[in-house]
Structure 1
Amino acid sequence: MLPVKNLDALLMQTYGPDFQIHDAEWKQLTDPGENFGSQILAITVNAKQSGKETTLNMVVKLPPRSQYLLDLFDSPITFKKELDFYSTVAPEFLKLQNESGIPQEALSVITPRFLGGRLGLRDPQCFDEQATIILENLKDDHYTTQDRILGLDKVHMDFAIGHLAKLHAITIGLKLKRPGFFERAVLPVLEYAVDEDAKDCVVDMVQKAHDDYKSMKEAESYLDRIERTLEYASRVTLTPKEPWTTLVHNDFWVNNMLFKYDESGKPINMKIVDFQLTVYDYGVQDLIFFLVSSSRKEVLDEHLDDMIDLYYDSFIKCLESLGVNTNIFPKSQFLQQLNQCAPVKFKQCIMMIQVIQAARGSVTETTDTADKDVFKGGINDENYKQKMLHVLSVFDRKGWLVK
């Protein structure tokens, strides 16, 4: 039985009132352990539109059923944020680029195409278990994900950093060029007050990571600074300053991007997904987490400063293409923000390693059944342990641990 009720009515949002589904096939799109924030289905429908037969392949997101995950992701709030982002904000990114005279072949189409959605079945504006977001199936257009445990090589890191910089720059361009629309339609999507249940879940995961460090002999010399950095991150609230504030994805890592390649295997495009945790903050928040969470060890060790420079240069270049005065975005301020934000970001980095480095097959719970013990990463898992230790060495080398 199709898990999505009234699918034809949702697709009518894009394909018109005469869209009729004949039959549909579906399957789970992600394995246990690959995605926790939602159920993700691949659905193929055979339908009739304007008298013609058509076949559509789509990805459908539904909320998780597990109460723990609903609390962890604050689903009633975050699902609405993501639905509003895809339906209202993402189309304006393209419109702004068109208005700025960027040629068709150079447009940044950052997200998959939105095909329909609702917050609930009983009331489209009230969250329930039938909250639905429908997107094009990127895998049909030969987009693929990379390996979360291995991480990204330099080519993929550079490519993704360029796209992340564009996401942040286009948001700022929209803010500066169309302030009325930005305040009315974009800022509400970026508001996010984490509820108490979600806070408790995060605290538990950070505490587990902290306890794991205490059990690692190799981390012994860092323990005082780990303690101070976590305490600092819990105590300090950074107030971002304009004009730098932008859409921060807040979950930008390997599993939330898909790449497309040419015949030689070179990446030629990518799409970013999962916009449920977006906030209004400094773009370097995304950059720090992405570099630490998703880069292969040798790339991070040899090219960290190069990748930071690449982000800033790509950010400025995109702003220039939108006709924005870039003198108000000096590099000195950017680097200052980077060093301010990194200690605060330490919590997310070590918390998420439990998810990113979870051994394949170690997580068998689905989004129906997952509870607080779902994340299995531990010091007996060598990948997890080495990644945790490497994060320490990177933060130490950059002076991002609080002394």
Structure 2
Amino acid sequence: MPQLNKHDLEALLRPTLGQDLAVESFTSEALTQPGENYGSTMLAIEVSIRERKDDTSHNLSLVAKLVPPTEFLWKLFDSPNTFCKEITCYTSVKMEINKLQNEKCIPKDKYLDVFPKCYGARTTLSEEIGDKADKNAAILLENLKAANYRLGDRRVGLDLKHVQLVVSKLGHFHALTVALKILKPQIFKDTVLKACKPHTASFDEAEMQANTLRLLQGLKVIPGCEIYLEKIQKASEMSNKTQLDKSLLPPREPYAAFSHTDLWVNNMMFCYDNENNPVGVKFLDFQGVVYHSPVKDLLFFLYTSAAEGVRAKHHEELIRLYHRNFIDCLKDMGCDIGPFTFQTLLDEIEEFALSEVDHVLFMLKPICADKSEVPELSGIDLESLYQEPNEIYKRKAKEFIIDYAQRGWL
């Protein structure tokens, strides 16, 4: 497993906390359990630091995000590129979004703050942050658990209050990047589009075709899904083609935005009030960000992360909630909301819903897996990612497929 030493921590922390900082001691342990994270090695680090200028010491609770431990995962997640993309999100995109909100005098109750604090990052051992990461890449973030943020249960999913909170913040999040595009196009290009640079497809065409067949084999055993297999195969094959050739399904204006692409229950953490109601959320893991339709994030989140029955009972309400937060944010930014009607959002969903079929069905496998079924990071390969579906997967996949078909999206 990748690790950091005292010298690494000092080099990463000094640009943010001051060059006179010294690390007195630290402890490090694995942060996540199998199935909670795949694209990186996550460590919980407790650091005792001393400020030489005033000879004071204090402790920091950090999360270190390091490269994945195997060549398979390095290739699967295109780590040389995706680590750079995530670093740009924390060092540039976050800063410009916050600056825009400050310039518009957004009050505290409307201010969006979904990025965790970044204490330092590197792509290589060089002091300069480059465009390609190597095996020494690292990101130091605040440990949200120490700030009383909690993860949801990936197998159970999120209840209505949590889903409403995420959908509201997601509409706000997407709208801020659209506002940045409208109001500061050059800064948008230098930050958001830099973070959204295309990365290499994880598999070649033959490997993608084999993955589609593996996916279909798992769906064949789900009663009631067999009549949809041909449509699912076509959707998966279309997804494969668009991964290899982005021009086949380009983003559309005016909605095209900074899209997370992997916004599921384990890539967010919640804080709560005294009555245990969720009142805040942080989004995590910005390795896969792209410039594309924001509805892909919305659909992926709703179908992978809402508890069973929540999305089905509240589908239109949640779509309207997303739209309301999107246009309210654009109003606060002083942007014209004319092109962003509710009908144009529905048109956007119609255009891009099919492209999420393969994505959702693939990701439901690790989401629904029992902890005993999920291998350690070092043991993950294609066979383990396409293991025999369990009962939770069968229920959730069937609900997704039938709902998509009934809405005319499949």
Q: What TM-score, normalized to structure 1?
A: 0.94
Aligned partner of 2:91 in structure 1 is 87
SS at match of 1:88: helix
Aligned partner of 1:373 in structure 2 is 383
Among candidates 11, 18, 28, match of residue 9 of structure 1: 11
Whole-Å Cα distance in 1 between the matches of residues 355 and 230 of structure 2? 16
Whole-Å Cα distance in 2 between the matches of residues 57 and 94 of structure 1? 24
The 5-angstrom pairing of residues 351-390 of structure 1 reads 351-366=362-377, 368-375=378-385, 377-379=387-389, 381-390=390-399
State the one-letter code of the partner of 2:333. Answer: L
Say whether 1:35 aligns with 2:46.
no
Q: Percent identity?
A: 34
CA pair 196-354 structure 1, distance change in 2 beyond 3 A: closer
Q: Tell me which moved more, 256-265 or 103-112.
A: 103-112
Q: Structure 1, residues 59-116: CA drift from partner, whole Å, max 9, x if none?
A: 1100102111111100000010001111111111111111111123431111101110
CA pair 142-302 structure 1, distance change in 2 beyond 3 A: same
Q: Structure 1, residues 299-356: CA drift from partner, whole Å, max 9, x if none?
A: 1221112111111111111111111111121222211110110111111011111121
Among candidates 396, 400, 403, match of residue 409 of structure 2: 400
Among candidates 261, 264, 270, match of residue 250 of structure 1: 261
Q: 1:360 Cα shift?
A: 1.4
Q: Tell me which moved more, 124-133 or 53-62.
A: 124-133
SS at match of 2:384: coil
Q: 1:202 Cα shift?
A: 5.5
The answer to whether the 8 A contact 1:358-1:376 is kept is no
SS at match of 1:197: coil
SS at match of 2:371: coil
Q: 1:47 Cα shift?
A: 1.2
Among candidates 59, 66, 69, match of residue 70 of structure 2: 66
Whole-Å Cα distance in 2 between the matches of residues 2 and 45 of structure 1? 18
Aligned partner of 2:231 in structure 1 is 225
Whole-Å Cα distance in 2 between the matches of residues 396 and 9 of structure 1? 53
Whole-Å Cα distance in 1 between the matches of residues 236 and 133 of structure 2? 34
The answer to whether the 8 A contact 1:175-1:182 is kept is yes
CA RMSD of aligned residues (A): 1.9
The 5-angstrom pairing of residues 227-306 of structure 1 reads 227-234=233-240, 237-306=248-317
Whole-Å Cα distance in 2 between the matches of residues 151 and 370 of structure 1? 23
Whole-Å Cα distance in 2 between the matches of residues 318 and 279 of structure 1? 21
The answer to whether the 8 A contact 1:206-1:350 is kept is no
State the one-letter code of the partner of 1:42. Answer: A
The answer to whether the 8 A contact 2:263-2:297 is kept is yes
Whole-Å Cα distance in 2 between the matches of residues 199 and 249 of structure 1? 24
Q: Tell me which moved more, 124-133 or 243-252.
A: 124-133
SS at match of 2:381: coil
CA pair 378-28 structure 1, distance change in 2 beyond 3 A: same
The answer to whether the 8 A contact 1:240-1:281 is kept is yes
Q: Structure 1, residues 164-220: CA drift from partner, whole Å, max 9, x if none?
A: 111100101111111111112221111114335377665544432211122333212
Aligned partner of 1:339 in structure 2 is 350
Q: 1:35 Cα shift?
A: 0.6
In the alignment of these two chains, the number of paired residues is 399
Among candidates 146, 152, 177, match of residue 183 of structure 2: 177
SS at match of 1:40: strand
The answer to whether the 8 A contact 2:155-2:367 is kept is yes
CA pair 204-150 structure 1, distance change in 2 beyond 3 A: farther
Say whether 1:323 aligns with 2:325.
no
The answer to whether the 8 A contact 1:110-1:271 is kept is yes
Q: What TM-score, normalized to structure 2?
A: 0.93
SS at match of 2:317: helix
Whole-Å Cα distance in 1 between the matches of residues 241 and 205 of structure 2? 14
SS at match of 1:327: coil
SS at match of 1:46: strand
Aligned partner of 1:127 in structure 2 is 133
State the one-letter code of the partner of 1:370. Answer: I
The answer to whether the 8 A contact 2:296-2:353 is kept is yes
Among candidates 47, 50, 55, match of residue 49 of structure 2: 47
The 5-angstrom pairing of residues 101-180 of structure 1 reads 101-121=105-125, 124=128, 125=130, 126-180=132-186
State the one-letter code of the partner of 1:173. Answer: A
Whole-Å Cα distance in 2 between the matches of residues 24 and 203 of structure 1? 46
CA pair 12-248 structure 1, distance change in 2 beyond 3 A: same
State the one-letter code of the partner of 1:300. Answer: R
Q: 1:393 Cα shift?
A: 1.3
Whole-Å Cα distance in 1 between the matches of residues 210 and 334 of structure 2? 45
Whole-Å Cα distance in 1 between the matches of residues 206 and 169 of structure 2? 33
Say whether 1:98 aligns with 2:109.
no
The answer to whether the 8 A contact 1:149-1:357 is kept is yes
SS at match of 1:252: coil
Whole-Å Cα distance in 2 between the matches of residues 181 and 221 of structure 1? 49
Unaligned ranges ≥5, structure 1 = none
